Chains A and B, each alone.
Chain A
Amino acid sequence: MAKKEELRELLKAELKDDFIGEELAGERRLFVDVHNRALVKTAEILMKQGARYQVGVGYESRKGGRGLALVHTFAFDNDALIVIVRTFAPEDNPEFDSLTPIIPGAGWSERECIDLLGFRFKNHPGPKRLVLSDDWPEGIYPLRHDVPHDLMPPATRDVVFRLEQPPPGTSIVPFGPFHSSLHEPAHFSVYVDGENIKGCEYRGFMTHRGIEKLAQTELTYNDVPFVAERICGICGSVHSVNYAQAVEAAAGIKISRRAEFIRVVMLELERLHSHLLWLGVAGHLIGFDTVFMQAWRIRERIMWLAERLTGNRKTYGMVIVGGVRRDINKEKAEDIKQVLKEVEREMLSLEKAIINDKTIHKRTRGVGYLSKEDALKWNLIGPVARARGIAIDARKDHPYAAYDELEFEVPVVDYGDVWGTLVVRVKEVYEAINIIRQCLNKMPADGPLAIDLDAPIPSGRQALSVVEAPRGEAVHYVLTGEENKPERWRVRAPTYANLQAVPEMLMNNKLADFPIIVGSIDPCISCTDRVVVIEIGLQKIKVMRKEELETISRKMRFEG
């Protein structure tokens, strides 16, 4: 690992006294502590070396008097190395330099720290509220240790999130929080000039459940995988595997090879059903419901297979710290092979039938275009990045579980639009089938499913784990703590990184393409929706009701 040595020496030489220390870790991680004042400089050095920004984590030290800590992680994808930079600030003055001016992708992580821990960031361009609800009282920071996990401040009404002013000459079309086609609550305030989108502001985090806080207060190490699985309804296994890997890395636990292979099988089954689900939803959003029906019919076989393997369609509950809970024996392996054969055959015939269909091409080609440079700037990940010519995949770049022994392709295309993501995802379906077959052949015949943890997990150790979820790279940061529970557990789901670039993708597209770009929002503004018309000069907000909208549309039709 020459790169690790090189970076360590470089940082030591450049930072001199500001380089505080290094935590010992495996070959693929470099944990360094730097002085508060050198944070931006460190980030600049690392970005110049070709790093990709991953996530920022803030936490409050439970002991040791070092106050509040901020962790930034940088991935070097070509060298299978992740650099974790930690810096400290005293409790009475939690001020850090913001990285957002040089790395736009760091904006959300820092806004989250402001909300949850009360940090202050110098030079942050928009330190608005991100995670907490609008009526959460000022001065109470949920991730501080003196705030209990079940604190419920009295709810207040009539509190409004202060949305930005739209650019002159545009109107706002609000999407959400509850929209006929929104799968989850989120609010997009889209600025339109006629049919063209000129910008967008996002207000989300309406389903923030405080899972990280729960893990730090109430749950123990082996409770967390089951809660982690419920972070996402689609890629649950990703989060439980990721968390378990992080704890195992922190504690130095080596799990059996067989358990690693079983984890890979579950991860790839999840990728299979997730991509088929996405294909169906994408078809539905562009009004091509044949794809929706047929993709979900194929997907159903995988759901039933998962039910036979794990005891449930979703939330498999397979992973615990130290291994897995259920075996994949000969019979189950045969079952998997049989299902995969059928899925592959049906998927091929479906692909042949739809891939040249004009409907898909007209609705996806050139839509949501983002250049490779912009994608790199926003640190995009997963199929969204691979559709823009960036060959990153955590399975290849930072191999975990049993992926180092498996042979597979990472499909990369350079269309840069929605069509590209569709192609990448369809190709990944076949790769996932290929990987599961290899797993079943290469899996060692014996080995314990889960190993016994004979010693307590040592406290105060950091670990970072990455797993390639169907949507991109998911990152889990764990700092081990006392009393059999993690002191800090930070989850960065792939959408966290990708959603930040959505306003950029929407730019200059048609309003009708909004749903397929965002992937979950329908263009059909139903009668019950309201349009907010803002007259810029007067700053007067007028909300139109259904009747008024109907009157206007009728008038337009008759007059035009």
Chain B
Amino acid sequence: MWLWNKLKQLAISLRAGVVTLHYPFEPRPAPAGFRGQPVWDHTKCIGCAGCANHCPARTIFLRDICQEVRILLYDSARCTYCGRCVDLCPEKAITMSDKFELATDNRQDLTQAIELFMMTCQRCGRCYDLEIKNYIDRLTLLGYRYDSLEVRKVIKKSTSEFQPEMLEKTATYQRPERLEK
């Protein structure tokens, strides 16, 4: 009985043969619809910040560095490749590429930055894109959550709301004694 079982297992293993792929030496193309590294098309982007507002990993940043230039920065280090930005882009400016071999020793290799030339609306003070056409109506479409010109940045940091007493409590915290014998 024991031998019979072992023979059956041997048959399964032999029938399967070698399944290890010669992967790094033979390329393995990703299947269609694969969610690889997202790529921005700067000619289509209108700087609406829909992707930045809805990125679950908060890895897309938008910032107005002056009245005319808005920077879009994609930092791949935290990206989860969920493809939410692709779903939400009103201009279809983002595509999920089939690139997945992203190991690198330089973080800058994975970062994408787009400088968008914007115009400032004289009424509301918001930036809008003049190069393609007037898209200002579309800016409100996807919930422009963090567009505060005072703060000048898209991602909210809640540390600013943190009570100073609580921070103090943490700073003076005494570590417990090591257990004695």
| Contact surface of A with B, Cβ cutoff 8 Å | 135, 137, 139-140, 146-151, 153-154, 156-160, 162, 217-220, 222-224, 226-227, 230, 290, 293-294, 297, 300, 304, 307-308, 310-312, 315, 317, 325-326, 349-350, 352-354, 356-358, 539-541
Q: Does B181 contact A (CB under 8 A)?
A: yes
Answer whether residue B159 sits at the interface, using C-beta atoms and an 8 A cutoff.
yes
Do A150 and B159 form a contact, CB below 8 Å, given A223-B56, A226-B80, A358-B2? yes
Q: Is the CB of A223 within 8 A of B170?
A: no
- Bound-state CA distance A518–B35 (Å) is 35
- Chain B residues within 8 Å of A354, by CB: 5, 9
Q: Within the complex, what minimum Cβ distance (angstroms) separates A345 from chain B?
A: 11
B84 touches A (CB below 8 Å): yes
| Residue in A closest to B181 when the chains form the complex, CB atoms | A539
Name the one of A153, A223, A353 contacting B8, with C-beta atoms under 8 angstroms.
Answer: A353
Question: B134 to chain A: closest CB distance in Å?
Answer: 26
A315: chain B residues at CB < 8 Å are 80, 82
Nearest Cβ in chain B — how far from A184, in angstroms? 19
Partner of B13, one of A135, A230, A293, A539: A293
- Give the chain B neighbours of A326 by CB distance below 8 A: 33
Interface string of B5-17 (1 = CB under 8 A from A): 1101101110010
Which B residues are CB-close (under 8 A) to A223?
54-56, 84
Question: Interface-forming stretch among B60-68, B102-110, B119-127, B160-168?
Answer: B160-168
Q: CB within 8 A of B12: which of A219, A294, A325, A540?
A: A294
> What 5 A-B pairs come out closest when comparing CB atoms?
A311-B35, A156-B175, A353-B8, A226-B56, A223-B56
Q: Given A160-B178, A312-B35: A150 and B158 within 8 A (CB)?
A: yes
**Interface status of B34 (Cβ within 8 A of chain A):** yes
Q: Give every chain B residue within 8 A of A153 (Cβ-Cβ).
A: 170, 173
Report the separation of the CA atoms of residues A356 and B6 in the bound assembly, to the nearest whole angstrom.
10
A360 nearest CB neighbor, chain B only? B5
Set A135, A151, A297: member contacting B175, Cβ < 8 A:
A135
Among B4-60, those with CB < 8 Å from A are 5-6, 8-9, 11-13, 16, 19, 30-35, 54-58
Closest chain-A Cβ to B9's Cβ sits at a distance in Å of 5
Please measure, in the bound complex, the distance between the C-alpha atom of A139 and the C-alpha atom of B172, giving whole angstroms.
12
Taking CB atoms and an 8 Å cut-off, the chain B residues in 70-86 that contact chain A are: 80-84
Which residues of B are found within 8 Å of A312, using beta-carbon distances?
34-35, 81
What's the nearest-Cβ distance from chain B to residue A221, in Å? Answer: 11
Residues of B within 8 A of A350 (CB): 12
A356 proximity list for chain B (CB < 8 A): 1, 5
Report the separation of the CA atoms of residues A223 and B145 in the bound assembly, to the nearest whole angstrom: 14
Chain B contact residues, majority secondary structure: loop
Q: Within the complex, what minimum Cβ distance (angstroms) separates A111 from chain B?
A: 19
Instruction: Add 20 more A-B contacts to A137-B170, A304-B31, A358-B2 (CB < 8 A).
Output: A137-B169, A146-B163, A147-B162, A148-B158, A156-B176, A217-B158, A220-B54, A222-B54, A223-B56, A223-B84, A226-B57, A230-B80, A294-B16, A312-B35, A315-B80, A317-B84, A353-B11, A357-B2, A357-B9, A540-B181
Contact A151 B170 (CB under 8 A): yes
B162 and chain A: residue at smallest CB distance: A148
A146 to B173, CA, bound (A): 18
* Contact B176 A226, beta carbon cutoff 8 Å: no
Q: How large is the interface on B (under 10, 10 to 19, 20 to 34, 35 or more residues)?
A: 35 or more
Contacts of A353 in B (CB 8 A): 5, 8-9, 11-12
Q: Which residues of B contact A230 (CB under 8 A)?
A: 80
Q: Is the CB of B8 within 8 A of A139?
A: no
Chain A residue contacts of B157, Cβ below 8 A: 150
Knowing A137-B173, A226-B56, A353-B12, say if A148 contacts B34 (CB, 8 Å).
no
Chain A proximity of B67: nearest CB distance (Å)? 29
Q: How far is B157's CA from A217's CA once the two chains are assembled, in angstroms?
A: 10
Q: Which residue of B lies closest to A138 (CB)?
A: B173
Q: For residue A226, which residues in chain B have a CB less than 8 angstroms away from its CB?
A: 56-57, 80, 82, 84
Whether A149 touches B158, Cβ cut-off 8 Å, given contacts A308-B33, A312-B35, A325-B87, is: yes
Known: A140-B169, A147-B166. Is A308-B161 also a contact (CB below 8 A)?
A: no
Write the chain B residue with the least CB distance to A293: B13
Residue numbers in A under 8 Å from B12 (CB-CB): 294, 349-350, 353
Determine how close the nearest CB of chain A comes to the CB of B158; give it in whole angstroms.
4
Q: Would B5 and A146 count as touching, CB distance under 8 A?
A: no
Q: Which residue of B lies closest to A222 (CB)?
A: B54
Question: Which chain A residue has the least Cβ–Cβ distance from B88?
Answer: A222
A-B contact pairs, 11 of them (CB 8 A): A140-B166, A149-B158, A150-B159, A218-B156, A219-B56, A220-B54, A220-B145, A294-B13, A308-B32, A312-B35, A350-B12
- Of all chain B residues, which has the CB nearest A317? B82
> Within B130-161, which residues are at the interface with A (CB < 8 Å)?
145, 156-159, 161
- For B31, the chain A residues whose CB sits under 8 A away are 304, 307-308
Determine whether the beta carbon of B34 is less than 8 Å from that of A311.
Answer: yes
Chain B residue nearest to A483 in the complex (CB): B145
Q: Which residues of B contact A357 (CB under 8 A)?
A: 2, 5-6, 9
Residues of A contacting B83 in the complex (Cβ-Cβ under 8 angstroms): 311, 317, 325
Cβ contact within 8 Å between B171 and A154: yes
